[in-house]
């Protein structure tokens, strides 16, 4: 029997109504949503279940909403008694992974990501930063193009290395626009501007990272029950202080998702369980290695189905 990794989605996976079926059916999952409302001091669950979508899409709401849905689905799935050998999450999803590994309490995680969302939104004035998904480019060539454009005075960097042929760039609006225009220079087919409220995972997020660091210092980090494969290094971490530091770096560093999945597979993982809204990570994992098993836990039915 191979090893199992639990993986958790990040921003972009949100959907109005996510988790409503488990909220209605399972007291343990309902308790997660209720606790979130209590910690944040506003009815987050109402926004998640009823929308409007435009409000749920605001980073400051999306981040706590996704962590809440992921942890609620985790509670639903826990009844099966399956434990992971490793956990990982994509960007924001790393916080859900840390809850799954017992590093952070859900209460601390949801309060932190609400602030994380706020700090990220406030770090760069609206319209000054941007992100784009680049399709078909080779990583080294795209990094080189970003370096060239940055040296011309418009900073832009690799933000998410998602899977072969899909890399997100982030930085100044002018820098990202240059990548979109010049994508063919890096062997890319095209670049699609993303609807985001800031240049996440770029050096323009340093101020947000500094503000988050101050908040992370106030929170207890426990030793994880299983190793957490983190975005910044794509390697397993078990030291609580190191995890705390890496969460600060994560705000302005690229998310090495492809590298993380490849590391997990090399460590013997052959089953990935994506827990939370949507199936974004399942799609990326299949593009990285079509031979591994990928399961989505994003409905009441899937949470109760055998693996």
Give the separation between CA 213 and CA 206, rounded to whole angstroms: 10
CA distances from 195 to 42, 76, 136, 252 (A): 25, 31, 20, 18
Question: Is 90 marked active-site?
Answer: no
70, 172, 201, 260: the catalytic one is 201
Going by their DSSP bridges, the two strands 3-8 and 236-237 should be labelled as unpaired
Per residue in 160-212, pLDDT tens? 999 999 999 999 999 999 999 999 999 999 999 998 888 999 999 999 999 99
Per residue in 11-64, pLDDT tens? 999 999 999 999 999 999 999 999 999 999 999 999 999 999 999 999 999 999
Per residue in 74-123, pLDDT tens? 999 999 999 999 999 999 999 999 999 999 999 999 999 999 999 999 99
Per residue in 60-87, pLDDT tens? 999 999 999 999 999 999 999 999 999 9
Per residue in 220-237, pLDDT tens? 999 999 999 999 999 999
Give the separation between CA 167 and CA 288, rounded to whole angstroms: 13
Q: Phi and psi (nearest 5°) for 156? A: -155, 140
pLDDT exceeds cutoff 90 at 127? no
Can you give the pLDDT at residue 136?
Answer: 97
Closest CA to 201 of 149, 258, 135, 156: 156
3-state secondary structure 22-53: HHHHCHHHHHHHHHHHHHHCCCHHHHHHHCCH
What are the chain's domains?
3-123+204-304 (3.40.366.10), 129-196 (3.30.70.250)
Report DSSP state, residue 163: E
Per residue in 129-166, pLDDT tens? 999 999 999 999 999 999 999 999 999 999 999 999 99
Q: Which two tokens stand for residue 94?
A: 């790393």
Can you give the pLDDT at residue 283?
Answer: 97
29, 45, 70, 91: the catalytic one is 91
Question: Is 29 marked active-site?
Answer: no
Per residue in 261-302, pLDDT tens? 999 999 999 999 999 999 999 999 999 999 999 999 999 999
Q: Average model confidence (pLDDT) for the chain?
A: 97
């Amino acid at each position: 029997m191979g090893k199992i990794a639990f993986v958790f989605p990040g921003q972009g996976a949100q959907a109005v109504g996510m988790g409503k079926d488990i909220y209605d059916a399972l007291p343990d999952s309902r308790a997660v949503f209720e606790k979130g409302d209590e910690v944040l001091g506003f009815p987050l669950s109402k926004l998640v279940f009823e929308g409007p979508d435009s409000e749920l899409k605001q980073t400051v709401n999306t981040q706590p909403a996704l962590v809440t849905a992921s942890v609620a689905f985790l509670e639903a799935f826990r009844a099966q008694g399956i434990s992971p050998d490793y956990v990982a999450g994509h960007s924001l999803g790393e916080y859900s992974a840390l809850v799954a590994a017992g590093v952070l309490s859900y209460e601390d995680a949801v309060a932190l990501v609400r602030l994380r969302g706020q700090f990220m939104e406030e770090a760069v004035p609206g319209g000054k930063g941007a992100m784009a998904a680049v399709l078909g480019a080779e990583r080294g060539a795209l990094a080189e193009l970003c370096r060239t454009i940055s040296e011309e005075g418009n900073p832009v960097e690799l933000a998410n290395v998602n899977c072969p042929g899909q890399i997100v760039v982030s930085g100044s609006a002018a820098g990202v626009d240059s990548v979109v225009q010049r994508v063919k220079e890096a062997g890319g087919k095209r670049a699609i501007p993303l609807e985001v409220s800031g240049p996440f995972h770029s050096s323009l997020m340093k101020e947000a990272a500094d503000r988050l660091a101050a908040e992370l210092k106030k929170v207890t980090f426990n030793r994880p029950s299983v190793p957490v494969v983190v975005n910044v290094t794509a390697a397993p971490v078990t030291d609580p202080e190191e995890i705390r530091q890496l969460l600060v770096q994560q705000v302005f560093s690229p998310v090495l998702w492809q590298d993380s999945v490849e590391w997990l597979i090399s460590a013997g993982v052959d089953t990935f369980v994506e827990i939370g809204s949507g199936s974004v990570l399942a799609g990326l994992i299949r593009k990285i290695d079509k031979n591994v098993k990928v399961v989505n836990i994003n409905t009441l039915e899937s949470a109760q189905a055998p693996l």
